[in-house]
Structure 1
Amino acid sequence: MIVRPAEMRDADAIAAALNPVIRNTTISFKPYELSLDEVRELIAMAPGIFVAEVDGKVVGYASYDQFRRGAGYARSMEHSIILAPEARGHGIGRTLMAVVEDHARAAGVGSLWAGVSGENPGGVAFHDRLGFETVAVLPKVGFKFNRWLDLTLMRKWLQPAGDETSGSH
């Protein structure tokens, strides 16, 4: 397996991994699939986006971008990770996340956030194993497939212990 920065040539493969998740699951609250232009924009704009390749085929990606807009949030990032079904359970997600965390940490990011669907307990368990802590469960903030969905917010502090100066987390 190779993990590398995403390139424009990866847009088709990223869309092929992401769009079925959008179309068929509540893992993503997005109501519509992303076009190739939208995926290319993601590649161009995200401060960090990486793909995992197995035998020359992209089988997943992970990215991060600012948690919320505005200068006050410039060091808090939210990440996304999507794996093709055949890539799950082989350590690929863990490897992608390690690359994302290292990249974000080197860029001075303080906290990395995950917004996990309440209908994705595997996603919560995955993040828990990586050292993310559940900070809040936001009830009924998403709406997809004609039903309300909860969102679990999970956070991982990336800087050295003691560098965190506020809050109880």
Structure 2
Amino acid sequence: MIRPAKEGDAPAVAALLNAVVLETTISFRHEAWSAEEVAARMAHLRGAGREYFVALALAGGAVVGHASYDQFRGGSGYRTAMEHSVALSPAARGRGLGRALVEAVASHAAERGARTLWAGVSGENPEGEGFHRACGFERIARLPGPGFKFGRSLDLVLMRRALA
């Protein structure tokens, strides 16, 4: 089940995010997310007309995934270009929840006038690139070395999906 996130989901979302942030190069972020930061991010996105979605496990209703989106870059010239974030717990992968989350984001963004949805995928995450291709994204560029984590430079793959 996919639904808009509630403030009470923030601790579970922070736990999902932190597994990626602290243990992988999928995210270039170094610092753990607090539940308060996640709740503030949810509020910020809603205030901007965006949304934060969660995927729930069928058994028990635990949060097993999340997705959100915001403007790709600042400034009015980018107002129809959005960038998304999506992550699932390892146990939830391969069940279609990731695609459902991306579709929820894409639909919400398109209904509000977005023309493109962007993904920034770590160059060390070929599974993420394949996932995005399966969700209708095309690879636009590979930027060499803008990220740095665990003592090494990381490439960034930019992918785009047309919404309009």
Give TM-score scaled by structure 2 length: 0.94
- Partner of 2:64 in structure 1? 59
* Shift in Å, 1:14: 0.3
> Using the alignment, how far apart are the partners of 2:114 and 2:51 within structure 1?
11
- Partner of 1:26 in structure 2? 25
Deviations 1:59-118, CA, capped at 9 Å, x for gaps: 000000011111111111100001011001111101111111111110110110000000
- Partner of 2:42 in structure 1? 43
* Shift in Å, 1:31: 1.1
* Shift in Å, 1:149: 0.2
| SS of the residue 2:94 aligns to | coil
Structure 2 spans left out of the alignment, 5+ residues: none
Off by >4 Å, runs of 4+ in structure 1: none
| SS of the residue 2:32 aligns to | coil
Aligned AA for 1:73?
Y
* Shift in Å, 1:38: 0.9
- Partner of 1:162 in structure 2? none
Aligned AA for 1:126?
F
- Partner of 1:84 in structure 2? 89
> Using the alignment, how far apart are the partners of 2:104 and 2:39 within structure 1?
20
> Using the alignment, how far apart are the partners of 1:151 and 1:79 within structure 2?
14
Identity %: 54
> Using the alignment, how far apart are the partners of 2:78 and 2:122 within structure 1?
22
- Partner of 1:112 in structure 2? 117
Q: Is the contact between residue 11 and residue 34 of structure 2 (CA under 8 Å) also seen in structure 1?
A: no
> Using the alignment, how far apart are the partners of 1:108 and 1:137 within structure 2?
27
Count of aligned pairs between the two proteins: 158
- Partner of 1:150 in structure 2? 155
| SS of the residue 1:115 aligns to | strand
| SS of the residue 2:33 aligns to | coil
Aligned AA for 2:34?
S
* Shift in Å, 1:45: 1.3
> Using the alignment, how far apart are the partners of 1:110 and 1:45 within structure 2?
21
| SS of the residue 1:101 aligns to | helix
Give TM-score scaled by structure 1 length: 0.92
Aligned counterpart in structure 2 of residue 130 of structure 1, from 131, 135, 141: 135
